[in-house]
Structure 1
């Protein structure tokens, strides 16, 4: 936006009126009190994400770069995979642990395991070999439907869980006891199992919306239920939420889990995962930033997720929040006029907020304007300014007339070709 730069107001004056305008915007949302100090994010891309049959398992070098990227965008915990599943998974996990130790990262690694000592033993071995404090999320399904399908009884689930947790604790692992399909399980079963496992010394628990059936009220009900169990209050144990997107609720459910009392929320990059996928970590990061404050890592988010798109072979949709190619773009004449006027006042902040709730510039991006049959003169003016060209009324009118004859927005090449054939510009 070079043409707009020379019209900027003096910095002090600009800051004053920009801040005044921003502060005057009324927000009907309830304050959610979400911040990075109290509410952390756990990345499950290398475990639950890879259960998506359409994605690619990244090479080990990409996995190391992936962990470095998670560190930069403020992810607190990362699942390194399921080392008991095979030799490659074991070796990749070991290499990632050594990398985390070598780089001195703050991110806390953990691995997944069924409630089997044979699954947990490799995690303990990797901790010993790497010298990294390692966690284990040991999981078992507890819902009525899983009990029927697996032919499990209360006694089996209880004993299997207690044996696995006891073994993991004795191995010095940070144990996270995970109840699969928690949101379709009976309160009395949840209570009995969690209280029994806690007696062993387990201090971290994950509630799973395994098939994505919860709505906001369900999230609040189950998190509140567990937090009200004796010894499960905030500060006594860590409570995490693992959601899926089958009903399209995963992001809002994750935010609700934080508000209802969970410390951590699980997710994957771009929401990769089986069926409709998991909660997208980049959208958790985005909304946590919007609820608190932007920091120096904000501009790392978009380039990192774009790399993840390549590593995991997951295309980013054009209208995907924050990352899509069209999310900060309009062709509307009314909207373009307001954005143009904001830039002409020398304010990126006004341009960001006049027709968007997400400030593009905080993420190293900017507003853009296209030209189609819904456009007006401001769209053309914006395009001319961006390309350092001058125009008159006739030029604007001819471009708009050309756009109105097309069924899609004009590409830059279309406009340049049209101008070359029909109009003299300088």
Structure 2
């Protein structure tokens, strides 16, 4: 019998103060798996933070996920709501595409009537909400631990009876009693999996972004200890484990990478990190992280990430912040004159990787009163995608009238950066051969 005592960790989460990080100096080993992947929740958790997507928009975004994955299997799955006619229509449209990746899954409450929706849609796997902290068990659900555990296992069993793989979403795991509730629950779910021969997945949900990536931190906040514990005490194989994080404390990407590093195969996120409050883990960040950890990108095609960002801006009215890594307008744009000169000489000096090849985005400079001839030349080369002998240098006389126009702008009181469309117009007036 588990103890029926509410445990809220008020020494760690005093509420009247910021949360505490307690160290026990218990170190666990890294356990990066040969295969790791990303799962997507743009149409579920992400959509909750925005105006509801239309069916056509979901279809288009799903297409982008497919072409970005490009057969790599790194974007392994994407989960959908099923509650409205529009939700179900979107699933049907995406099912008709017949894509292997991402696989279509769903998300439901742990309720029998919700499972019937999954069965009727012929979806093979569904996420099921299983809140696991005492904040949720006692105060939201009005249950005790024994009741919650029995109910969750019963619903997972019901899913298997319906021919559906259950993915158990352990909500608020970073405030849960790990050995007092999480491990007993997970052990029962793994027993169910073994007895039935059906994979039962575990998604560890850092609902408030309270997880920390440091080894040697006390449970329940330690991501290394949580993943190590689920595998070694709960008996969850790495391939059946996912991490779902939020960015409330700026740790979402680091925590997701840490989950990979300590034995979790899957990390869950959304396109551009959209989601409630501070958002989810950006899946584009994790694809870049994949390349850094694995030393290759398999067949991923991230050039379409830029197109997808533009689609979000134009079709959904979503403003991708200009400073957002990889997709923001200023991501690989330098505004310092001395940096522009370095970029002109060798773009590797101020560009961390070949953004032209990998993201379809050449490095650019923003032209202002400090840019000089070097900055304008670097802008022209980047904007018009010039390479080799076609590139302009800071001593090219063709740039002089463009430089004179820029100077005149600021002499007349301008204080803002020259926009790309303005500079393109002036450049084409003076360098006609670029007008192709």
Shorter-chain TM-score: what band?
A: 0.7 to 0.9
SS in 2 for 1:73: helix
Residue 123 of structure 1 and its aligned partner are, at CA, apart by 0.2
Q: What is the aligned residue count?
A: 371
The alpha-carbon deviation at position 395 of structure 1 amounts to: 5.8
Residue 328 (1) aligns with residue 323 (2): no
Compared CA separation, residues 367 and 182, structure 1 to 2 (3 A): same
Alpha-carbon separation, structure 1, partners of 2:53 and 2:110: 27
Which of 103, 113, 116 does residue 108 from structure 1 map onto? 103
Specify the alignment match of 1:232 in structure 2.
236
Q: Note the alpha carbon deviations across 1:153-197, whole angstroms, 9 max, x for none.
A: 012211210111001011111221111101110112111111112
The question of whether the paired residues in 2 share the 8 Å contact of 1:384 and 1:391 is answered with: no
As a proportion of its length, which structure holds more helix? 1
Query: Would you say 1:367 and 2:367 are equivalent positions?
Result: no
- Relative to structure 1, the CA distance from residue 47 to residue 377 in structure 2 (aligned partners, 3 Å threshold; closer, same or farther) is same
Shift in alpha-carbon separation, 1:312–1:252, aligned structure 2, 3 A: farther
Which deviates more from structure 2 when the two are superposed, residues 397-406 or residues 156-165?
Answer: 397-406
Dislocated runs of 4+, deviation >3 Å: 32-35, 75-80, 308-313, 380-390, 392-406, 411-420, 423-426
Q: Is the 8 A contact 1:47 1:81 kept in 2?
A: yes
Cα distance between partner residues in 2 of 1:333 and 1:138: 53
Candidates 333, 336, 354, aligned match of 2:349:
354
Residues 8-47 of structure 1 show CA distances to partners (whole Å, capped at 9, x for unaligned) of xxxxxxxxxxxxxxxxxxxxxxxx9979x71111110111
Q: Given the alignment, which residue of 201, 205, 208 partners 1:204?
A: 201
Q: Is the 8 A contact 1:333 1:379 kept in 2?
A: yes
CA contact (8 A) 1:373 1:404 kept: yes
Structure 1 pair 56–402 and aligned structure 2 pair: CA distance change class (3 A) = same
TM-score normalized by structure 2? 0.76
Structure 1: any 5+ residue segments left out of the alignment? 1-31, 128-132, 343-350
Residue of structure 1 in register with 2:146 after alignment: 155
Q: Return the offset for 1:68.
A: 2.1
**Cα distance, 1:375 vs structure 2:** 2.7
Higher RCO (CA-CA < 8 Å; seq separation 6+): 1
Partner in structure 1 of residue 57 of structure 2 = 62
CA distance in 1, matches of 2:328, 2:302: 17
Instruction: Evaluate the alpha carbon distance shift between residue 305 and residue 39 of structure 1 in structure 2; reply closer, same or farther with a 3 A threshold.
Output: farther
Change (3 A) 1:124 1:376: same
1:48 Cα offset (Å): 0.8
Whole-Å separation in 2 of the counterparts to 1:280 and 1:416: 32
Q: Distance in 1 between matches of 2:431 and 2:127?
A: 67
Structure 1 contact 209–243 (Cα < 8 Å) conserved: yes
Q: 1:395 to 1:182 in 2, by over 3 A?
A: same
Could you tell me whether the CA contact under 8 Å between 1:43 and 1:281 is conserved in 2?
A: yes
* Local SS of the residue matching 2:169: strand
Q: Which residue of 1 aligns with 2:181?
A: 189
- Which residue is 1:92 aligned to? 90
